[in-house]
Amino acid sequence: MGTGVVKRKPTPSALRKKKAHQRIRKQLRRRLEKKRPNWKSALARAYVGPGTSGKKGEPFGKNKRKRSRDADVDGDAAAADGDGDNDNDGEVQSDVDEEKQERMNQRDPLETQLFLKRLPLDTSEEEMMKFFESRFGKVRRVLLVRNRANKTLAGTGFVHCGSVELADKIFEHAQQNTRELAAANREEWQEKTTDLSHCQAKRMRFKLRTDACMFRDPFLNIRETRFTVHRVLSRTDSQETSAALQKKKKRTKVAADDPRHLYLLREGLILPDTPAARGLHPQYLTMIQQDYEARKEQLRNSNLFVSTTRLNVRNLPRTMLEKEVRAIFAAPVRSFLKENKEHMDKDKWGKYGPIKNVKLVKDSAGTSRGYAFIEFVNHPIALHALRTINNNPTIFGDRRRLMVSFAIEDINAIQKLQRMREIRRQHQTPRGEKSNEEGCMGGPAVHADGQGRTVGGKQKKQPPNKMKGKKAATGNRVIGRTAPEE
């Protein structure tokens, strides 16, 4: 490849087409291999020898088949006399079947096995064996799953209990741990929300629920580490479960395309005890939770919906101007458009490019209130800007991070604004259409005194202060340049 040439990545459609061609070539190769004759059939067609029956020109293959039939008859006779080799073949086959059956018998039933997840990565089979034997009794064996590449532990494994009773005992103990944890969480919630109001208690329960939802599955503790315990499914059951999960994902994806776009409400949400919440002040996390609960409460009104192109930016400095807010979002938008050329549709761009509008909310004194609204031309650009700017410590430092989320809008207000714009557009007639309107109405427009005065073939304009708010002498209202009502 020459210098300065950029190698383009293949598109998904090109990859699918390439795989289809490879699959077709493989099928054709298999068909050709089936049709290709082997040396035996080629020799049978090429060589024609004298037949045993004395007929000239009998093919070689028929003699071979006849000799094979004779050999089978001789073999049966030898087997009847006890001199054949079929006894040895039968003994070998029986030994193979017995070994296979023995291996099948060594496999434990699925009811006696348990699947372990979230195991410590520094554990071993011996440690897990001692753990189960010291608490539940002797187990048959423990198998830990390792990666094929580097032979490191994957954090999962199997325990073969040897009996259904022991497997049920271990699983029931793990379920009991889950029930005790849920009861302890409920008591903790009641203690912490006793002296709080209804809204504060609801926010506190939401915060505590994020910690409790991590261990809804049955679990056990080893070295202060919780690992979950699950039943082992057969291949058919696992396929049915995976198919159900895939169906659920498809259903969730379709449900995400609801007209109100409620799935976008969680974009930008930072939950406690997550990697995104590291280094954040508790007061900042509380503010995020309060904002999420308030927005969730707002969306109970069916007239409100989540916008796909308009963002709500909070925690801005009070001294920041609109052009500075635009500059913050312009950098990630430019980087996104460089990598995604398909979204660079300049026909839909406005005066300021992909950023259509920036509105900084101010109070009655003209001072910024610390939040703004910014609108983009399409949803992918808005989503990339949200994920780039939200909770970004490189903009103002760790002491101030912007809260970015999709704005909530009222469908009634938007429809009313559209009607007002349409009415304004209808009344703001261009000057070039003035003569056409007059010609259609059959003459010049009538003034307030009922006389159509013209100067040089054109209507004489009256001062705006004299015409504004006055009615015609005949009781008709003059609207724009239209003819009076009859």
Position 42 confidence tier, pLDDT thresholds 50, 70, 90 = low
Percent of the residues in the chain that have a pLDDT greater than 70, as a whole number: 64
Position 273 confidence tier, pLDDT thresholds 50, 70, 90 = confident
pLDDT in tens, 286-303: 888 888 888 888 888 888
Strand order in the sheet with 225-231: 141-146, 153-160, 113-117, 225-231, 219-222
DSSP codes of every residue in 329-395:
HHHHHHHHHHH-GGG--GGG-BTTBTEEEEEEEE-TTS-EEEEEEEEESSHHHHHHHHHHHTT-HHH
| pLDDT-wise least confident of 134-143, 363-372, 443-452 | 443-452
User: At CB < 8 A and 24+ separation, what contacts does 71-78 make?
Assistant: none
Q: What are the structural domains of the chain?
A: 110-247 (3.30.70.330), 262-419 (3.30.70.330)
Q: Are 333 and 376 in contact (CB under 8 A)?
A: yes
Q: Are 171 and 111 in contact (CB under 8 A)?
A: no
**pLDDT at res. 440:** 42
- β-sheet bridge partners, residue 329: none
Residue of higher predicted confidence among 108 and 307: 307
Mean pLDDT of 245-249: 69
Give the list of residues 6+ apart from residue 252 with CB closer than 8 angstroms, or none: none
Ranges 61-70, 121-130, 347-356, 392-401, most confident: 121-130
pLDDT in tens, 113-172: 999 998 998 999 999 999 999 999 999 999 999 988 888 898 999 999 989 999 999 999
**pLDDT at res. 43:** 64
Helices (H) and strands (E) in the chain, counts: 15, 11
For residue 477, what is the DSSP state?
B
Residue of higher predicted confidence among 296 and 98: 296
- Please give the sequence-ordered ranges of beta strands (E in DSSP) within 421-462, or none if there are none: 454-455, 458-459
For residue 273, what is the DSSP state?
T
Residue of higher predicted confidence among 239 and 87: 239
pLDDT exceeds cutoff 50 at 305: yes
**pLDDT at res. 284:** 81
Looking up tokens 């008709």 gives 476
Which ranges in 9-59 belong to alpha helices (H)? 12-35, 39-46
| CB-based burial label for 94 (10 Å; 0-12, 13-18, 19+) | exposed
**pLDDT at res. 449:** 44
**pLDDT at res. 394:** 86
User: For residues 364 and 386, what is the distance between their CA atoms, to the nearest angstrom?
Assistant: 29
User: For residues 85 and 89, what is the distance between their CA atoms, to the nearest angstrom?
Assistant: 7
User: For residues 419 and 426, what is the distance between their CA atoms, to the nearest angstrom?
Assistant: 11
- β-sheet bridge partners, residue 226: 221
Looking up tokens 């006793």 gives 194
User: For residues 32 and 134, what is the distance between their CA atoms, to the nearest angstrom?
Assistant: 63
Amino acid (one-letter) located at 434: K
User: For residues 299 and 238, what is the distance between their CA atoms, to the nearest angstrom?
Assistant: 38
